[in-house]
Chains A and B, each alone.
Chain A
């Protein structure tokens, strides 16, 4: 009986392990440990979404690649501070001098997952070079379906920069970034 139970436990563990490998989650929060200082790094934020006649949702698993060969090779997954379906996003603060391109995201519609590889030719409006320390609002970019193919378009949402900053503010509570965010919010409100 005992042996049966043990076998059952092992089977359950194997099942859980195999299931957990199928489910990967998107990031919704930042690790505050070793957070770079606002004086030497850039905090990028904005909107990456999918706009349809039913409204706006978020692009999934957005991956930014560092493309400047003189800086560290690194991939950052966009963080969704409000929820994984809200288009507001930000990245971990990146080193000044690094350059970033959005090279991948995916979209789920019903049972279908579409993988988008954007290619490296040219700097698009949602790509950026971290030229100076502090905040960098990248704007609002929406994937829109055309007659034959999708395209990314700049479509400013009502809330704009202010709403995006309000959404990411709680993530930086108690860090040096809080004051920088508050300062910018004050400027936007005045």
Chain B
């Protein structure tokens, strides 16, 4: 009986692990780079209104952000997506490119987590990463719009590197290996 209870407890812990991993900042591994970005939409999206279009029973689906980014020179270039949140630093794990070059394709907001009600921001830049760096800050991106059609007013990139360093040092101590990405126009083939 005790054995069954133990197995049951272990199983419950195992099920809870992915949820725990998501809320904490992921720890970098040797073959990975962890990209950091923040996305803001101003004025705030009326998510309550868009929930009317979502199909759910009890828990309303969250509004999530996604990033499309992939290593350019690796044989297998799987884009990372990683669901994140608006207005906070999001950490996404990506396999390390052998020349430290990544295609930063776009940023997406899935309002009420639906494809139909999504906002897509094309970036189309190459992100170059300094050799050996584990945490790479891409930037804080702010999209401003003027009306109900999300008519763009501006799409800016701000530098909040100091805040990222602060957050990472609070989690992993002062020796954390973090740098800014260099965003450049991709080279023509």
Binding site for B on A (CB under 8 A): 63, 65, 67-69, 73, 75, 99, 101, 103-104, 117, 119-123, 127
Contact = CB atoms under 8 A, between A and B. Distances in A.
B150 A121 contact: yes
Given A69-B46, A69-B49, A73-B52, A122 B117 contact: no
B: contact size bracket: 20 to 34
A9 to B, nearest CB: 33
A123 B118 CA distance: 14
Contacts of A121: 119-121, 145, 150, 152
Interface string B89-115: 000000000000000000000010001
A75 B53 contact: yes
Nearest to B52: A73
Contacts of B52: 73
Contact of B149 (A63, A73, A104, A122): A122
B151 interface: yes
Contact of B120 (A69, A75, A119): A119
Nearest to A127: B149
Contacts of A127: 149
Nearest to B143: A121
Given A73-B49, A73-B52, A121-B121, A67 B116 contact: no
Contacts of A68: 148
B148 A117 contact: no
Contacts of B148: 67-69, 99
B186 to A, nearest CB: 15
B147 to A, nearest CB: 8
Contact of B152 (A63, A117, A122): A122
Contacts of B115: 117
The binding surface of chain A is classed by DSSP as loop
A122 B119 CA distance: 9
Contacts of A123: 147, 149, 151
Given A69-B49, A120-B111, A121-B121, A104 B152 contact: no
Contacts of A122: 149-152
Contacts of B111: 120
Nearest to B108: A119
A65 B53 contact: yes
A107 to B, nearest CB: 16
19 contacts: A65-B116, A69-B46, A69-B148, A73-B53, A103-B116, A103-B117, A120-B117, A120-B118, A120-B149, A120-B150, A121-B119, A121-B145, A121-B150, A122-B149, A122-B150, A122-B151, A122-B152, A123-B147, A123-B151
A117 B118 contact: yes
Given A122-B150, A123-B151, A104 B116 contact: yes
Contacts of B147: 123
A71 to B, nearest CB: 9
A122 B120 CA distance: 10
Contacts of B46: 69
Given A101-B149, A127-B149, A119 B49 contact: no
Given A67-B149, A69-B148, A99-B149, A120 B119 contact: yes
A95 to B, nearest CB: 14
Interface in B148-170: 148-152
A32 B118 CA distance: 33
B117 A65 contact: yes
